[in-house]
Amino acid sequence: MSAYLLLYILFAPFAGALALIFVPNSRPLLVRGVAVASSFVSLVASIYLFYAYDAVRGGFQFVQKFPWSTELGIALHLGVDGIGVPLVLASAILLFAGVFVSWHITDRTKEFYIWLLILAAATIGVFMSLDLFFLYFFYEMSVIPMYLLLGMWGSHTKKYLEMTDPEGLKLRDSVGFIFNFGANSKEYAAMKLVLFLSAFAVVALMGILLIYKYAGLNTFDILVLREHAQLMNIPVLGTTLDKIIWILVFFGFASIAPIWPLHSWSPVGHAAAPAATSMLHAGVLMKLGHFSIIRVAFEILPETTRELMPIAAVLCVFSIIYGGLVAFYANDTKYVIGYSSSSHMGYVFLGMAALNYISLSGAVIYMFAHAMATGMLFAMAGWVYDQTHTRDLPSLGGLSNKMPFIAGCFVVGCMASIGMPGTVNFIAEIMIIVGSWNKYPLQVIVAVLGIVLTLAYLFKMMRAVFYGPMSQKYSYTRDAVAMVDRLPLLVMIAVSIGFGLFPVRLYDVVRSGVDPLVAKITYVMPVAQRNEDSDSGRDDRTEASSLIPLSEMADIARPSITYALRDSQ
């Protein structure tokens, strides 16, 4: 099983989508059964992967390589390290939960599950890819299902539905509506998402093609490129090629993260998407940006990353504060959660920018933790919408009387989102704050204020939806009673609290991927200086160690000692 484990995880959803093509829509129970079976296979294999991964040995494991074009140096090269493993697990969990969250969809059920399975499989493919070509291929593949899921099964916002002139003629399709960003239709949201992500994906593609051309290795293999690519000394446009490539890769992928000011497509997409799509959108689709930056920019251009990553430290402040303030003043449940997600992605960028093992480990754990917490919130927002047919906060209230289970789970989701002790979000936030303090104290202060702001808008939303007087027009609403309705929430709650109380395994897995990467980025001398020292006969190791403060020597030595002991055994 271990030899082909990644193939099981990746292709089980694809196999489910293929099988559904031959199942008629007149048999909805069979359609749902196929979706459950394929997602369950992927989930079980992902759990096995998480616990079978050797955190002591580290590195890329369960590697499979299938040549696709020897002339171009392209291969389906799959493998996972300590950074990819938890994200693969998060994708599988959210897919399994999303299948049950969508249990009551009756409009073209088969087509919905086909695209949901393809979306999840595409995100898993990105997290497994060790070939730049297929990383980009799966990255782009994830955009197509999002367009269809939003445009066909999404919902319009309240403002869009109210756009009527005095004569009763709808203005929804007017030119003025196109520029009315506060009155979005699901078609508008779908088109904006696709155009935005596709445009910036081309920017990232330019960086990838420059790496391929100027590395001179005739390969897209990330493991080969990270060891042998030398892109430092080529002057271009008054700077060097490595910096141009890094900027293209960073901003091309950061748009999906999303980082301010490239974020506007994301909350609109959240608001329009069906619940399961929002879960995957916020839980794993947004993490494709962070992960791709780590896999491409951090791995292949470590020295340039060290020089230019402060850009992310500046922009993350705007992401945290702007997203939090808009979420506080929003009156749409999905807009609140959507802007909250944009705000929280700023914490991941802060942890990445600090470039030490504590902060970067915290950033990776936070990606996993945010997937569970936001998945819960979007699942419950979808339930409330299905019952009330509105997301307008002022018109809701008192629903805890009708939905005690949903209200209780919503409290847990809010607690996880603000980083309450006992949830895995708390561990991630503490690591990011502690790890980033020495390098970016101002940003850390802003991040702490952002946590307070998160508490304010989530509690405001919780009060508006579940407490206070309830309108009689919602007296027909019901709670999640059936197991198919409760199971996805219970799974995500169990994962969030389970890893919050017992985080050691998750921490060890993540550290095995982060330690060597941080050591490579932070303590490797620039290529030019290394060549000069070699020519002059100086010892690079002595020179490099003399530049490192004594207080940091223990942290530097820790990964080296660990891997030395491993090799000796």
What lies within 8 Å, CB to CB, of 499 at 6+ separation is 368, 369, 424, 427, 506
C-alpha distances out from residue 464 to 183, 393, 397, 470, Å: 22, 6, 5, 10
Give the DSSP H or E segment for 101. Answer: helix 84-101
Residue 172 lies in a domain: no
* Single-letter residue type at 436: S
Q: 423: domain range?
A: 2-163+183-523
Q: What angle do CA 28, 34, 37 make, to 5 degrees?
A: 140
Please check whether residues 543 and 494 belong to one and the same domain: no
- How far is Cα 54 from Cα 80, in angstroms, rounded to an integer? 11
The pLDDT, as a whole number, for residue 160 is 53
Report the phi/psi class of residue 419: left, alpha or beta, with left for phi > 0 and alpha for psi in -120 to 50.
left
Please check whether residues 464 and 537 belong to one and the same domain: no
Q: What angle do CA 451, 454, 459 make, to 5 degrees?
A: 130
The pLDDT, as a whole number, for residue 260 is 82
The pLDDT, as a whole number, for residue 504 is 93
- How far is Cα 296 from Cα 275, in angstroms, rounded to an integer? 31
Please check whether residues 281 and 362 belong to one and the same domain: yes
What lies within 8 Å, CB to CB, of 551 at 6+ separation is none
pLDDT digits (tens, 9 = 90+) for 261-299: 887 777 777 777 888 888 888 888 889 999 999 999 998
Please check whether residues 506 and 537 belong to one and the same domain: no
Whether 425 and 501 have beta carbons less than 8 Å apart is answered as no
Residue 324 lies in a domain: yes
Locate the DSSP E strands across 154-310.
Answer: 235-236, 239-240
Please check whether residues 307 and 428 belong to one and the same domain: yes
Residue 111 lies in a domain: yes
The pLDDT, as a whole number, for residue 218 is 86
Residue 326 lies in a domain: yes
Closest CA to 32 of 96, 123, 125: 96
C-alpha distances out from residue 204 to 208, 250, 258, 484, Å: 6, 7, 14, 40
Please check whether residues 513 and 537 belong to one and the same domain: no
Whether 505 and 365 have beta carbons less than 8 Å apart is answered as no
Please check whether residues 517 and 554 belong to one and the same domain: no
Tens of pLDDT along the chain (569 residues) come to 677 899 999 999 999 999 999 998 888 899 999 999 999 999 999 999 999 999 999 889 999 999 998 888 899 999 999 999 999 999 999 999 999 998 888 888 899 999 999 999 999 999 999 999 999 999 999 888 888 888 788 776 655 555 444 444 455 444 444 444 445 577 777 788 888 888 889 999 999 999 988 888 888 999 988 887 666 567 666 678 888 899 999 999 988 888 888 877 777 777 778 888 888 888 888 899 999 999 999 988 888 888 888 999 899 899 899 888 988 988 888 888 988 888 999 999 999 999 888 999 999 999 999 999 999 999 998 898 888 888 888 888 888 888 899 999 999 999 999 989 999 999 999 999 999 999 899 999 999 999 999 999 999 999 999 888 888 888 888 888 889 889 999 999 999 999 999 999 999 999 999 998 988 888 754 444 444 444 444 443 333 333 333 334 334 434 443 433 343 33
Kindly state the tokens that stand for 458. 């989530």
Whether 347 and 429 have beta carbons less than 8 Å apart is answered as yes
Report the phi/psi class of residue 403: left, alpha or beta, with left for phi > 0 and alpha for psi in -120 to 50.
beta
Kindly state the tokens that stand for 259. 């980082």
Please check whether residues 406 and 464 belong to one and the same domain: yes
Give the DSSP H or E segment for 379. Answer: helix 357-388
Residue 226 lies in a domain: yes
DSSP label of 220? -
Please check whether residues 487 and 556 belong to one and the same domain: no
* Single-letter residue type at 328: F
- How far is Cα 234 from Cα 468, in angstroms, rounded to an integer? 65
Please check whether residues 492 and 385 belong to one and the same domain: yes
Whether 111 and 61 have beta carbons less than 8 Å apart is answered as no
Beta bridge partners of 129: 78
The pLDDT, as a whole number, for residue 62 is 92
C-alpha distances out from residue 11 to 39, 118, 121, Å: 10, 10, 7
C-alpha distances out from residue 555 to 89, 195, 266, 518, Å: 29, 44, 37, 11
Residue 53 lies in a domain: yes
Give the DSSP H or E segment for 454. Answer: helix 441-466
Q: What is the CA radius of gyration of the chain?
A: 24
What lies within 8 Å, CB to CB, of 334 at 6+ separation is 270, 271, 273, 278, 378, 381, 385, 391
The pLDDT, as a whole number, for residue 409 is 92
Please check whether residues 224 and 86 belong to one and the same domain: yes
Express the helix, strand and coil content of the chain in percent, nearest 5 each.
Answer: 75, 5, 20
Q: Give a three-class secondary structure readout of 480-513.
A: CCCHHHHHHHHHHHHHHHHHHHCCHHHHHHHHHH
How much is the pTM?
0.85
Instruction: Please report, for the chain, how many H helices and E strands are present, in that order.
Output: 27, 4
Return the number of other C-beta atoms located less than 10 Å from residue 190's C-beta.
22
The pLDDT, as a whole number, for residue 567 is 39
Total of domains in the chain:
2
Residue position matching structure tokens 């919905």 = 112
Residue 362 lies in a domain: yes
In this structure, what is the dihedral angle of CA atoms 172, 178, 181, 186, given to the nearest 10 degrees? 60
Strand, coil or helix: 235 = strand
CA 208 to chain centre: 21
Return the number of other C-beta atoms located less than 10 Å from residue 435's C-beta.
23
Please check whether residues 484 and 547 belong to one and the same domain: no
pLDDT digits (tens, 9 = 90+) for 32-91: 999 999 999 999 999 999 999 999 998 899 999 999 988 888 999 999 999 999 999 999
Evaluate the CA torsion angle 257, 262, 265, 271 in order and state its sign. positive
